[in-house]
Amino acid sequence: MKRLVDRLAAERALPRQDMLALLSCGDAETLEHLFARARQAREAVYGRDVYIRGLIEFTNFCKNDCLYCGIRRSNARARRYRLSQEEILSCAEAGYQLGFRTVVLQGGEDPYFTDERLCRIVRALKAARPDRAVTLSVGERSRESYRALFEAGADRYLLRHETATKAHYENLHPGDMSFDRRMACLASLKSIGFQTGCGFMVGSPGQTAEDLLNDLEFIARFQPEMVGIGPFIPHRDTPLGMHPAGTVGMTLKLLAIIRLLVPDVLLPATTALATLDAHGCEKGMLAGANVVMPNLSPPAAREKYALYEGKATAAGETADALSDLRRRMENIGCRVVVARGDHMGKPRK
């Protein structure tokens, strides 16, 4: 098994059968070897630096009805909110003062945020702090809309593909959502020039090992600048609320494999991982991750942005929380840096 890991590290690929064997391998020594290779690959590109992104969850209104998501439109129990431009700017500025040089605007697909409104916010963020990167995570939009947001100054865009298996996608989403459209959105984002992130949930209901292989193959082919993965965590007010959560172990294994498939990828240890494990963030770094996304949203909003239950509120909004994170990263030989943290293959525009 260790040979498979070495082969993956050297060739940035594995035949499907071998990848399947690795995915089902529970041998502690092999896994430690996999993590060590992943750390080595990360260090060769990014050293020991950990990049922080200030996450602002600015709306939980959503026109979509994803079967797993707590802010799906049919969830009448979700208490809806949206932040004003002023609130967004002030969260971002508080983050800047703490050292955040990337702000991530994440929200449901909220029709209130037209191109005009969203572009205005992006321009204001860039005007206030020209040395700050702006990442958007606002779902599927038209190519023209993506282009307008890029021209307004947005640098990066996160849109998880959720699963690279069409049939599985259709089991997780209602009939009015389309796998092909999602993939087309990702292709548009990349061709427009965004540093683009895809990603998927680990252990989503009905997910098979074959599906995970498809995700890994898609990632290797798409060559994203960023990949966000985290365990599926059930939310009781959704149709998939009775399914078990994904596991920390499988998430860590996949983080390491993704690091080896795409060594220069920006790879966060996600909130979902930290939700299932108090040391999820450290474990993620030790498996090859190099990004953390602390939450800068106002506390009232944070509570309502419940994609799943028990969401960790990895607070980044206070100096205390951040120095705690710094210390935790130093304990595992990493270093939180004050930097935009662009993808190495694609520096600023």
| Least Cβ distance, residue 62 to ligand 5AD (angstroms) | 10
Reduced to 3 states (helix: H, G, I; strand: E, B; else coil), residue 133 is strand
Residue nearest to ligand 5AD (CB): 308
**For residues 69 and 78, which CB has a smaller minimum distance to ligand 5AD in the complex?**
69
Q: Site for ligand 5AD (CB under 6 A): which residue of 107, 230, 263, 316?
A: 230
> Which among 81, 78, 101 has a CA at the least distance from the CA of 235?
78
**For residues 109 and 324, which CB has a smaller minimum distance to ligand 5AD in the complex?**
109
Q: From residue 246 to residue 275, what is the string marking binding to ligand 5AD with x (rule CB under 6 A)? A: --------------------------x---
Task: Kindly determine how many residues on this chain lie close enough to bind ligand 5AD according to the rule CB under 6 A.
Answer: 12
- Asked whether position 232 contacts ligand 5AD by CB under 6 A, the answer is yes
Torsional class of 271: left (φ above 0), alpha (ψ -120 to 50), beta (otherwise): alpha
- The amino acid that residue 34 corresponds to is L
Strands 49-52 and 335-337: parallel
**For residues 199 and 288, which CB has a smaller minimum distance to ligand 5AD in the complex?**
199
Which among 9-17, 48-56, 147-155, 232-240 is the span making contact with ligand 5AD, rule CB under 6 A? 232-240
- The amino acid that residue 226 corresponds to is M
Q: Site for ligand 5AD (CB under 6 A): which residue of 156, 160, 182, 343?
A: 160
Which among 88-96, 143-151, 227-235, 329-337 is the span making contact with ligand 5AD, rule CB under 6 A? 227-235
State the Rg of the chain over Cα: 19
Q: Site for ligand 5AD (CB under 6 A): which residue of 57, 110, 155, 162?
A: 162
User: Residue 225 to residues 47, 155, 275: CA-CA distances in angstroms?
Assistant: 17, 12, 25
Check: CB of residue 244 under 8 Å from CB of residue 276. no
Strands 226-231 and 268-269: unpaired
**For residues 162 and 225, which CB has a smaller minimum distance to ligand 5AD in the complex?**
162
Residue bearing tokens 């995570």:
137
Q: Site for ligand 5AD (CB under 6 A): which residue of 58, 68, 113, 194?
A: 68
Structure tokens at 300: 């009232």
Q: From residue 96 to residue 135, what is the string marking binding to ligand 5AD with x (rule CB under 6 A)? A: ----------------------------------------
Say how far apart CA 325 and CA 338 lie, in whole Å: 13
Of the CA atoms within 13 Å of residue 278, those in its CB half-sphere come to 0
Q: Site for ligand 5AD (CB under 6 A): which residue of 286, 307, 322, 334?
A: 307
Q: 175 Cβ partners below 8 Å, 6+ apart?
A: none
Site residues for ligand 5AD, 8-67, by CB under 6 A, read none
Residue bearing tokens 């860590």:
252
Reduced to 3 states (helix: H, G, I; strand: E, B; else coil), residue 205 is coil
Catalog residues that contact ligand 5AD under the rule CB under 6 A: 68-69, 160, 162, 201, 230, 232-233, 235, 272, 307-308
